[in-house]
Structure 1
Amino acid sequence: MADIQTFIDDLRAEGESLDALVADLPEDEWARETPAKGWTVAHQIGHLHWTDTASVLAITDPDGFAEQLKAAWENPAGFVDAGAAEQAARRPAELLAAWRAGRSALVDALAAAPAGAKFPWYGPPMGGVSMATARLMETWAHGQDVADALGVERVPTARLKNIAHLGVRTRNFAYSVNQKTPPAEEFRVELTAPDGSHWAWGPEDAAQKVVGPALDFALLVTQRANRADLALVALGAEAAQWLDIAQAFAGPSGEGRAAVGSSSEGREAKGNR
């Protein structure tokens, strides 16, 4: 079994990385629009805080989470936006403090949870490692929105392996959410890590293969960049189809980002959970 502390440490580090982008941000900059249409920097941080708080509830009070889930499904198309908007309405200093406290509570809850426990969620129940990985993925993805809004180029880290792994593991989900039948065969995914080493998943002799930079794969499966702007190569028709629909987050598929230079208004799926 994977050591959950490693994933908790990565989650903590990802939160600290995003925190560094917004810690000294002037108050008016929290209202800056991000690539997610209608979402400001405050909405992005507010969404992360809202979801971190829901995660703590799922881990520590499953019955309480069930009540929250019931309320969420009364507004299935809008509860994520509503939660982000509610948090974004707070003063930036208050929101920042709340987000920091929520992050701390989440890592504490994950560390204290019984080994092998499963927690309810908006999709299938998740174990501790899956929960930590999903929260890291969302923190990184929404952090990318913030970085893009602020014109900051982030340095990729080995934490991308968590997101890449999630992207590979969610292949069949991406097919099903797009009303497509998943291929029976495993794919091979070979990615170049930020330090130049290589990460791989799937059988070496697989007929369908995806190769390219790990950063580009992470951007693709979180729908933070258009495939046309990424250096990912699909070998095989089914692998190519997957790259067109891949997503590492639960919930419906989003429109994704428009290609650079395109006049399209396509945006990322704000409510990836």
Structure 2
Amino acid sequence: MIDYGLDLSAVERALALPDLVAEGDELDALVAAEPDWSRPTPAAGWTIAHQIAHLAAADANVLVAVRTPEAFAPEPEDADVVAAAGAALPRAELLKRWRTGRGVVAAALRDLPLDQPFPWHGSEVTATLMVPLRLMETWAHGQDVYDALGAPHRPTGRLRHVASLGVEGRTLSFYAAQLPIPQEPFRVELTGPDGETWTWVPDDAAQRIRGSAFDFCLRVTQRRPLAETGLTAVGEDARKWLEVARVFL
């Protein structure tokens, strides 16, 4: 086998970073054109302003974790309180804060050494993981805004990052639901936005998930109940996974 000295983590980060930026820019275009940020979103008690405030606060937390890890609080602040404080800001100020913050975060994650871990709410992560995590959160909270405005959320190839996190989050899903963690392999087959098939793990796995990547991402980010997706499962554990699926605690 030839070793080309290729750092796959570096490749993954290089591929994901433009997608993170694009995801933020797409949501930016939507909310910048909407004058009324007091419109409610599907998240109880959260308006469009709350959603943007949450994203801005999370970006600020990433910068603290990266730049001054010793000052990073291990326990997250109350998300409702933080979002409410940000939502109280003038719309133009909040939009500027979010735009500036996400740009700085993208640059910081681009320049961070790949082997340099930093704290993140009871654990440690690297830039390779944080880039898709920020993309996933931007996409998920963006979905709430799209739903609030009744606007279609066009699926893109960027969903592969979210879907990958969802697949990796299987153990987390069972753990959070206080269920035994299945030990046998699962196969996931998702149809991407352009009709391509995205697959994970063995061909012969008895536990199987099939459906569109968009539906899978909606489910693992808990933006849609299972009954409102076209996802199908083969195997008891696969069905249970879809019932409890999540990518965050």
- In the superposition, the TM-score normalised over structure 1's length comes to 0.86
Aligned partner of 2:58 among 44, 51, 60 = 51
Deviation at 1:173, TM superposition (A): 0.8
Aligned partner of 1:17 among 17, 23, 26 = 26
Q: 1:75-224, aligned counterparts within 5 Å? A: 79-224=78-223
Q: Is the 8 Å Cα contact of residues 114 and 128 (structure 2) preserved in structure 1? A: no
Residues in 2 aligned to 1:69 and 1:45: alpha-carbon distance in whole angstroms: 23
The one-letter code of the counterpart of 1:48 is: L
Deviation at 1:30, TM superposition (A): 0.3
| Partner SS, residue 210 of structure 2 | strand
The one-letter code of the counterpart of 2:46 is: W
The one-letter code of the counterpart of 2:108 is: A
The one-letter code of the counterpart of 2:160 is: K
Residues in 1 aligned to 2:228 and 2:150: alpha-carbon distance in whole angstroms: 18
Question: Deviation string for 1:133-179 (max 9, x for gaps)?
Answer: 11100000000000000110011000000000000001001111111
Deviation at 1:69, TM superposition (A): 3.2
Query: Which residue of structure 2 aligns with residue 32 of structure 1?
Result: 39
Aligned length: 240
Residues in 1 aligned to 2:106 and 2:149: alpha-carbon distance in whole angstroms: 27
Deviation at 1:60, TM superposition (A): 1.3
Deviation at 1:24, TM superposition (A): 2.2
Residues in 1 aligned to 2:228 and 2:218: alpha-carbon distance in whole angstroms: 10
**Unmatched 5+ residue regions in structure 1?**
252-273
Question: Deviation string for 1:94-133 (max 9, x for gaps)?
Answer: 0000000000110011011112221111142111111011
Deviation at 1:180, TM superposition (A): 1.0
Query: Which residue of structure 2 aligns with residue 5 of structure 1?
Result: 14
The one-letter code of the counterpart of 2:207 is: Q
Question: Deviation string for 1:239-263 (max 9, x for gaps)?
Answer: 00000001012x2xxxxxxxxxxxx
The 4+ residue runs of structure 1 with deviation greater than 4 A are none
Residues in 2 aligned to 1:123 and 1:14: alpha-carbon distance in whole angstroms: 27
Quick one: percent identity of the two aligned structures? 47
Superposition RMSD in Å: 1.0
Q: 1:190-269, aligned counterparts within 5 Å? A: 190-249=189-248, 251=249
The one-letter code of the counterpart of 1:126 is: V
| Partner SS, residue 198 of structure 2 | strand
- In the superposition, the TM-score normalised over structure 2's length comes to 0.94
Residues in 1 aligned to 2:239 and 2:33: alpha-carbon distance in whole angstroms: 42
The one-letter code of the counterpart of 2:18 is: D
